[in-house]
Amino acid sequence: MTLVGKKAPVFTAPAVINGNEIVKTFSLSQYEGKNYVVFFFYPKDFTFVCPTELHAFQEKLAEFKKRGCEVVACSTDTEESHWSWLQMPKNKGGIEGVKYPVVADTSKTISTNYGVLAGDYEYDDNGQLVAKGPMVAYRGLFLIDKNGVVHHELINNLPLGRNVDEALRMLDSLIHFEQYGEVCPANWSEGKSAMKATFDGVADYLSNN
């Protein structure tokens, strides 16, 4: 089930902000009406692919903010684990220097509501609750507009890292559509021509490209 076209699930959870401050009641609702949001999940703190992604988003953070977009990360680790990882230098596998919020989904309800939890709870033959799967988040990414509506989602399996430039491209596409009412064709990027959502508009685009 996709969230595209629907309101992003609401939550309130602990998070680490600015790389060093734990807050107990973080929510994406603070951005509604003001900012776009790229909300992404990663599997676990203190791992291998995950820090490459978190640093990659930090390296492009100014580009997101220039477009009025906030970046927020989330995993099923605790806020204390996030904080410790944020204090660890990059050359030792840490994410020191990451300044955007990192949410703690320890209840796994955020991951479940966004459809990215890798695993399920079941009852065994003895009626006891058991976990099937790693019970961490897949590498999910959601582009949310200023009204809190999801316009793009991407969910990768655990070994597959994402392309941050593609997240920026999708943000540019959404902004272009909102500003000009033009739809964005395959491989479109900012500065290229888009097309009007009419047969004449498509014909004009194809004749010029």
Question: So which residues are the catalytic ones?
Answer: 50
Residue 42 CA: distances (Å) to CA of 22, 120, 166 = 19, 17, 17
Distance (Å, whole) CA 207 – CA 209: 6
Catalogue the long-range contacts made by 119-122 (C-beta closer than 8 Å, 24 or more residues apart). none
